[in-house]
Amino acid sequence: MNILNEIIENKRLEIETPGYFQALEDVLENIPHLGKNAPPCSEKVPTPGKIDFVAALKAAPIGLIAEVKRRSPSAGPIREPFDPAAIARAYEAAGAQAISCLMDAKYFGGGEAQWNEVRAATGLPMLYKEFVVDPRQIFHAEALGASAVLLIVAALTDDELRSFIQLVDASGMTPLVEVHTEEEMKRAVDAGAQCIGINNRNLKTFETKIETTLRLRELAPADCILISESGIRTADDIRTLQASGVSAVLVGESLLRQPDIGVAVKNLMI
């Protein structure tokens, strides 16, 4: 079993734990178009705090989705001390276009409390980076003010992928559909994905190569938003990806390991 399968199995159990979706207790009050005081359809208003994810990424020559991540299964603890709010403020001050925030607690040290700290600290659009296997997680993301939701092709059936993309879209957020292989890219395209993240990490070996993005991008629709994820460490990596037509990069560990995050962002993004 690779680590993704292990995490997904745990996630299916975890989300059934009583009280797991804390924010969903108030979801009807928090989401204008579902609430008891919801306006008529013609008067719908956007969820507070929600910012257009794709527009933010397009505002830069190559966008940066900077990640707030305490630890990972492969790397262990990444930054000590770990202050999510301070990290988010440093990212924003250094010019990041969006923030990715891990929601998984067991494997990545994330969760709703961490999300709320980051959300309170920054005005940037936020990616709900979670192992989504249930539509309740999408409503949870909306209740928390997410601008985008990660959908991992390898974790979903074709029917789930298509319906989750539609549900995220209908909720006014951007579905960021993540692929690792040629087969997954084809499934993402067939499901109608318009914002595609190519994860450069091999889930069996944990090795990262940006060549994965360069290879898989050939299979992506010409008009899609293409994001390269994992293993991006240098300004040369950014130049290579930008030249290949990548719209944005998602970077966390290589920035979080530097003593000055702001300087690290500026050195990376040339």
- pLDDT value at 40 more than 50: no
Which of 213, 132, 201, 140 lies closest to 165 in space, CA to CA?
A: 132
Residues in a beta bridge with 99: 66, 126
State the chain's mean pLDDT as an integer.
Answer: 90
Mind listing the pLDDT tens digit for each residue in 143-157?
999 999 999 999 999
Mind listing the pLDDT tens digit for each residue in 15-24?
998 888 876 6
- pLDDT value at 50 more than 70: no
For the chain, give every domain's residue range: 3-15+48-268
pTM: 0.90
How sure is the predictor about 204, in pLDDT bands with cuts at 50, 70 and 90?
confident
Long-range contacts of 71-79 (CB under 8 A, 24+ apart): 71/107, 71/108, 71/109, 72/107, 72/108, 72/253, 73/3, 73/7, 73/107, 73/108, 74/3, 74/206, 75/253, 77/109, 78/252, 78/253, 78/256, 78/257, 79/256, 79/257
Mind listing the pLDDT tens digit for each residue in 84-102?
999 999 999 999 999 999 9
Residues 152 and 131: their CA atoms lie apart, in Å, by 7
Provide the CB-side half-sphere exposure for 159 (13 A, CA).
0
Q: Which fold has domain 3-15+48-268?
A: TIM Barrel (3.20.20)
Residues 30 and 105: their CA atoms lie apart, in Å, by 24
CA distances for 119 relative to 22, 86, 177, angstroms: 16, 11, 22
Of the chain, the percentage scoring pLDDT greater than 70 comes to: 89
- pLDDT value at 117 more than 80: yes
